[in-house]
Every structure is written in C-alpha cells, then in structure tokens.
Amino acid sequence: MAAVLSGKVALVAGATRGAGRGAAVALGEAGAVVYCTGRTTSGRRSDYDRPETIEETAELVTAAGGTGIAAAVDHREPSEVQTLVQRIDAEQGRLDVLVNDIWGGEDLIEWQTPLWAHDLNAGLRMLRGAVETHLITSHFALPLLIRRPGGLVVEMTDGTRDYNAGHYRVSMSYDLAKNAVLRLAFSQGEELKPSGCSALALTPGWMRSEMMLEHFGVIEANWREAAGTQPHFAAISESPLFVGRAVAALAADPDLHRRTGGSYSSGGLAREYGFTDVDGSQPDCWRYLVEVQESGLPADPTGYR
C-alpha cells in the first residue's frame, strides 16, 4: 500500500486487539505514526485477562510500514489520557487521526436478559467502558487534533445508524452503549465543523476478532472451518484489518469533510474506496445480515463479498 499517510500521526485508543489493532495496522500500512494504547502490556495483563499486548500491536504497525508506539493507558482515568496527549504533543506536535475504539465489554453482556434481570454493575461498567472512555479521550485529544484542518475522529461501534434504529441489539446496556457511540460521532462532527475537522461512526461487520475466532475454535488461517458451527460467520466474516483499511481510506480522503457526523460500515466504504480484506474480498456484512441471515436463507456469500 502507498504511504499516503506518511507524516501523519494517529492515536488508536484501544489498540490491543480487534478493530483497534486492525485500525492501527492499516494506518501503519499507509505510513502513519501510530500511538497504540491499551491496558495489557508485555509485563502486565489487565483484568480483561487476554494475551494480546499493545507492544505486539506496535510491532505489527511498524512491520506494515508505519511507526508503531505502544503506550499503556487506562482511558477511564482522565489524568492518564491527559499525560498521553501531552506526550504526543511533545514528541510529534500534531495529531491527525483519533480512533476511539475502547470497549472491553464482551464478558459483561448477559444476552437475552432484560434490564431488570441483568447484573446492574456489569451494565454500568459496560457503559463506562464504551462511552465514558470515549468522552474522556476526545476531551483531551481534540485540542491537539484541531490545530490543523483535515483531522479525523473515528468512533468505532457496532451497527450503522440505519440498522440500529430498527433493531434491538439483544441487551439493553449493549444497545445503549453502541447507539450512544453513534451519537457521539454526530455531536463531535457538529462541534468540529468550524475547525475543518471531521468525526464519524464506523462499524465492522461480523469481525474475526481474537475472541470470536477462539469462540468458534478456529484461527485466522482456517476460519472458514467454522461453517459447521456458524455457517453465516464462515460466509461473511471479515478480518480486523478490513475495518482498519476503512479508517486509513477515510484519513486519506481529501474530501473527507463531506462525511462528518455520518455513520458508515467497512463493507460500504470498501465499495466506495476500493480497498479489500486480506483475502481480496469486500464482505458486505450489514446487507447480508438483513437480506440473507435475518431472512432465514441458507448461508451463501454470493453477491456479498
């Protein structure tokens, strides 16, 4: 990939794994300097208790062609985020891309459980991790980002605005968290307009995150073997790099500002910008979900990737 973002500086908040790692690596492919934040380091695991580390992500960014910088940050703590932004300012003097990808709520969701039966503390922790962290990070990062026009804030969520408006996301706290992030993108877009910077919401499709691969008992090299367990996953899933390449394409778009406040999917942007997933395909998960899976049709990716 051409180094179209050479000289640009990005902060991927929540880059340890999943969509955050995919975004960091794709920005690296495009030549950016990428600060990769998270709580799990080579020396300490967070309470999330996963093996992936921010150092691994930074190494992948550098191997892809960028400059990866690991920074241990708990985005729930304002002082840590403030110190991070001060460091970026001191070292780079600029910030061009902010990806708010902090989430960490997978183990807190009680699917198909109504609000009154769901663990209250778990639901509140989910909102704190998915919404409060984004507010804290943008509060400290945006003054650096708006120094130059053309800056981009990506609010990573699950589901487009149109899809979520008509679908209950199977848990009240999850539904609220993911829809709140959509609104965060819209609101920041409005506030950033005078500076010539943009904010938008971005969703991957059915993503082959480290946790999802583990759940289905496969790895990235043989993910299609999950067909026996979940045929739709095997038909339409996408790698984390796919949504990452959507971030990189947006950051390189000279007419980006027309998208501010909007809601986009990796598959939809792939058709517009022409980027592909690691296998050369362009999976369009959200259209597939409605037209195939939710319509009760057998798994078949024809016409959707």
pLDDT digits (tens, 9 = 90+) for 8-58: 999 999 999 999 999 999 999 999 999 999 999 988 888 888 988 999 999
Assigned token pair, 217: 């008992």
**What is the percentage of the chain residues whose pLDDT exceeds 70?**
100
- Percent of the chain past pLDDT 90, that is, above it, reads 91
Q: What is the pTM of this model?
A: 0.96
Closest listed residue to residue 186, CA positions, set 260, 128, 279: 260
Which tokens is 21 given?
């790692």
CATH number of the domain within which 276 lies: 3.40.50.720
Residue 2 lies in a domain: no
**Residue 134 resides in a domain:** yes
Beta bridge partners of 93: none
Please say if the pLDDT value at position 84 is more than 80: yes
What is the rounded average pLDDT of the residues 165-180? 94
| Amino acid sitting at position 193 | K
- Confidence band, pLDDT 50/70/90 cuts, at residue 249: very high
**Does 114 fall in a domain?**
yes
Q: What is the mean pLDDT of residues 168-195?
A: 96
In a domain, 230, yes or no: no
Task: Tell me what pLDDT residue 1 has.
Answer: 65
Whether residue 234 is contained in a domain is answered as no
Q: What is the span of the domain harbouring residue 198?
A: 9-209+241-285
pLDDT tens digits along 105-126: 888 999 999 999 999 999 999 9
pLDDT in tens, 199-242: 999 999 999 999 999 999 999 999 999 888 899 999 999 999 99
By CB atoms closer than 10 A (0-12, 13-18, 19+), residue 94 is middle
Domain count, the chain: 1
In the 8-state DSSP scheme, what is residue 201? Answer: E
Four-point Cα dihedral 133, 136, 138, 144, nearest 10: -140
Tell me whether residue 166 is exposed, middle or buried, using C-beta atoms within 10 angstroms of its C-beta: 0 to 12, 13 to 18, 19 or more. Answer: exposed
Query: Scanning the structure block, which residue is given the tokens 């909102």?
Result: 127
Whole-angstrom Cα distance, residue 89 to residue 112?
45
**Identity of the amino acid at 282:** Q
The answer to whether residue 226 is domain-embedded is no
CB 6 within 8 A of CB 32: yes
Report d(CA 211, CA 191) in Å as an integer: 35
Does residue 304 belong to any structural domain of this protein? no
